[in-house]
Amino acid sequence: MSYPMNEILWQKIADFVPDKFGCVDMDGVLIYTLQQMRNYVGKPIIIHCGYEPRGSGYHPKKCAVDLHIKDMHVVDQFLVASRFDNFNGLGVYPNWNNPGLHIDTRPKDKKFDVDSRWGCLEAGKYVLLDKEFFRKII
């Protein structure tokens, strides 16, 4: 179940602030699970993008974030994020300036759709995650 964050709920989040996400009312499940992931890895998680008023996807729905975990290989970032059940969409971006992930809390019934896990080696070209993708980035 999703719920929007507010100023009071943000006070319970130790390592993130709303201005890094582009709005206060991001999806609470996303923010609380990001905090759990931060606690788990013990390393800073750098937010690249949260809410964006673009046409489609999960960023305009306030339930997606692009990020990287400091000093962690992008494959290890993916493996860490995969441990958290609330992250229903995961994209791997090894060619960003700081290689990282797209994470979203799309509806659970969409978690096992083919397009819920993807990689991107070139802007605008998305591929399924398979051994060939991971061989290219390791």
What's the pLDDT tens digit per position in 77-122? 999 999 999 999 999 999 999 999 999 999 999 999 999 999 999 9
Contact 76, 100 (CB under 8 A): no
pLDDT at 2 over 90: no
pLDDT at 104: 98
What percent of the chain has a predicted confidence (pLDDT) above 90? Answer: 95
Which CATH number belongs to the domain containing residue 108 in this structure? 3.30.1380
Domain hosting 73: range is 7-137
Residue 1 resides in a domain: no
Contact 70, 46 (CB under 8 A): yes
How many domains are contained in the chain? 1
Residue 71 resides in a domain: yes
pLDDT at 136: 95
Residue 2 resides in a domain: no
What integer best gives the mean pLDDT of the chain? 96
Residue 108 resides in a domain: yes
- Judged on CB neighbours under 10 Å (0-12, 13-18, 19+), 114 is exposed
Rounded CA-CA distance 7/43 in Å is 25
